[in-house]
Structure 1
C-alpha cells in the first residue's frame, strides 16, 4: 500500500509565523493533506491557515498542544503523520522531505528533528527528545487518542517517546537548519520563563524526571542501532 502523510500543525496565536510553515508544506508532493488545529487563538492564525489552503479545525477553548494534536489525529486520513510546530523559523520543503524520507523509504520507523537552536546538551547528545518535528505511522497513535487528549499541555512528546521505546522502533534523528523561537522571545522574559517552567512541570508530571533520562538513553540507543543496521555509523548531514 502506498503511504500517505497527513501533516498536523497545532497553533495558538501564531498568525505572524505560521504562514512560513504553511509555505513549506502546502502543496508538498510528500504530503496528502495539511491540518491546522487552531487552539482558540485570539489572533488570525486560523484565517491565515485557511487562506493558505490548509484544513483548519478551530478548538472552542484553549486546551493545549496535546488536545490540539488529538483533534488533528481524529481528523487525519493519511497512513502516516508528520507533526510540525507552527512557529518554526527557516523551514523549507527540503526540510520536510528530509524528515519524511527515512520513514517513507522504509529505512526507519520514525524520525525526529534536531534543530540548530536546540539546547546545547541535546546537540552534544545528538538528540532532542522533546522535539516537535516527528514522523510516524498513524496506526501507532490512533488507539491512544483519548489518552493523548487528556495529557498535560506539554506532555505529548515524552508520551510519544515511551510509545516508540515500548515498540522498539527504528529511529532516525534528522538534523535540520531550522529554529524554534524561545518562549522569552515570543512572550517576554517573565511570561517566557513561566512558560518554560510550566513545560518542564508538564513533562515531569507525565513521565517523571528519572524516566526522562531513561528515555534519552533508550532513544540514543535506538538511533545508533538503526544506523548500525544500515551498515554505517555516519551521522546524517544537516540540511
Structure 2
C-alpha cells in the first residue's frame, strides 16, 4: 500500500532540507511531494534535491490550495501531510500514519508534546475546538494540528479547501460529517513555535480570522 507524503512550503529554505533528509531515510514511504506555495527564497531548489516531485505555484495561494494540488498529484493509497519544519522529528512519521495503514482510522491527527515556550492564550484553539464540537459532536484535542494522515477516500470527502489557516478545521468537519473515523494519536513531532511577540500575535490573529471564516461557512451549510 503506497504512502505519499505531501509538504506545503512557503519560504522554508531554512528548515526544509533537514526534514526532507530525514524522510528520505524512512522505509515504507512511496513518494515525497513538496508544493512550493509561491516562495521567494530557495525552497523549490532545495526541495528538488530530496524529493520525487516539486510543484511550484506561481503565487502564494495558501495551505489549502497547496495541499489540494499535492494530493491530486500523489499516487499513494495513504496520503500524509506534514509541515516543512519538523526537522529530525520527522522520523516519527510512521506513528502518525500507522492507524490509517492498519485500518483503525480514515484520518489520523498528530497530538504533539506540550510547547517548550509560552505561546498564545488558547483563543484560536478554543474557537476551533468549540466549532468542530458544535458542528460534528467530535471534541478534538488538537484541532489545528497540521500533521495528518488520510485514506484517499477520506480526502475525497473534503468539500472545500479553505485557503490558509482554516484548512485543518474545514477538513475535520467535512470528514467527520461524512461518517468516517478520525483518531488522534500522540506523536513526538517538534517544530518552531511562535512566541508572545508581535509576529506571534499577528500570526495568531490571522489564524483566528481564518478559522472563524471556515466555521461560519460550515455553519451556514450544515
TM range (shorter): 0.7 to 0.9
- Normalising by structure 2, report the TM-score: 0.80
- Equivalent residue for 2:12, pick from 11, 14, 29: 14
- Equivalent residue for 1:129, pick from 119, 143, 161: 143
| Cα separation, partners in 2 of 1:46 and 1:160, compared to 1, 3 Å | same
Greater relative CO, 1 or 2 (CA 8 Å, sep 6+): 2
How far, CA to CA, are the matches of 1:199 and 1:107 in structure 2? 30
Gaps of 5+ in 2: 126-138
Shift of 1:27: 4.5
Shift of 1:73: 1.4
How far, CA to CA, are the matches of 1:180 and 1:29 in structure 2? 22
The 8 Å contact of residues 96 and 110 in structure 2, kept in 1 or not, is answered as: yes
How far, CA to CA, are the matches of 2:60 and 2:200 in structure 1? 18
Counterpart in 1 of 2:35? 37
- Normalising by structure 1, report the TM-score: 0.75
How far, CA to CA, are the matches of 2:152 and 2:2 in structure 1? 10
Counterpart in 2 of 1:202? 210
Counterpart in 1 of 2:136? none
The 8 Å contact of residues 117 and 180 in structure 1, kept in 2 or not, is answered as: no
Deviation track 1:121-144 (CA, whole Å, cap 9, x = no partner) reads 78xx87211100111112322465
Counterpart in 1 of 2:73? 75
Number of aligned residues: 200
Counterpart in 1 of 2:129? none
How far, CA to CA, are the matches of 2:87 and 2:216 in structure 1? 30
3-state secondary structure, aligned to 2:65? helix
- Equivalent residue for 1:166, pick from 168, 177, 181: 177
